[in-house]
């Protein structure tokens, strides 16, 4: 239980220091161009690195034929067409539940 609090404190402190960084530097120094270029790719890289295992791996094994992959594809189509976050989540969950019911699992 202690460990989780230390983890929280360190993660929180680092996040705060990142946010404070350039503000504390009084705007005297701006990040080099390559840093902004690199940071642009953080969201697509990190988000997909979470999504792929979530929909492709079940019980530690690669399982391309599983309900979550199909529901994930449906959700991706909704996100692509509508850009609506709530709708994407609702349709994705509905797809997963429907597939699970159809498969009787």
Partner 1 sequence: MSKRREFLSGIRDELPILLGVTPFGMIYGVLALGAGLTPLVAQAMSAIVFAGSSQFLAVKLIGTGAPPVVVVITAFIVNLRHALYSASVAPHIKRLSPLWKGLLAYLLTDEAYAVAITRYNVPYPLSPNPSGDGMEDRGQHWYFLGAGLALWTCWQASTAVGIFLGTQVPASWSLDFTLALTFIALVVPALKDRPAAAAALSAGVVAILAYGLPYKLGLIAAALVGIVVGMWSETKWKRSG
By CB under 8 A, residue 49 contacts partner 1: yes
By CB under 8 A, residue 94 contacts partner 1: no
By CB under 8 A, residue 32 contacts partner 1: no
Asked if 75 contacts 47 with a C-beta cutoff of 8 angstroms, the reply is no
By CB under 8 A, residue 63 contacts partner 1: no
| Separation between Cα atoms, residue 66 and residue 45, nearest integer Å | 23
By CB under 8 A, residue 70 contacts partner 1: no
By CB under 8 A, residue 59 contacts partner 1: no
| Separation between Cα atoms, residue 34 and residue 88, nearest integer Å | 33
Contacting residues for 71 by C-beta, under 8 A, at least 6 apart: 55, 92, 93, 95, 96, 99
What does the binding site for partner 1 look like in residue numbers (CB under 8 A)? 3-12, 14-16, 18-27, 30-31, 34-57, 60, 62, 68, 71-72, 75-76, 79-80, 83-86, 88-89, 92-93, 96-97, 100
């Amino acid at each position: 239980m202690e460990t989780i609090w230390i983890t929280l404190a360190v993660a929180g402190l680092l996040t705060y220091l990142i946010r404070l960084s350039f503000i504390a530097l009084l705007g005297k120094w701006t990040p080099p161009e390559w840093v902004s270029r690199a940071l642009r790719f953080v969201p697509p890289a990190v988000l997909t690195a979470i999504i792929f295992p979530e929909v492709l791996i079940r019980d530690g094994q690669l399982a391309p034929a599983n309900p979550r992959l199909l529901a994930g594809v449906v959700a991706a189509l909704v996100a692509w067409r509508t850009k609506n976050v709530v709708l994407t989540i609702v349709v994705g969950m509905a797809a997963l539940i429907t597939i699970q019911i159809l498969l009787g699992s």
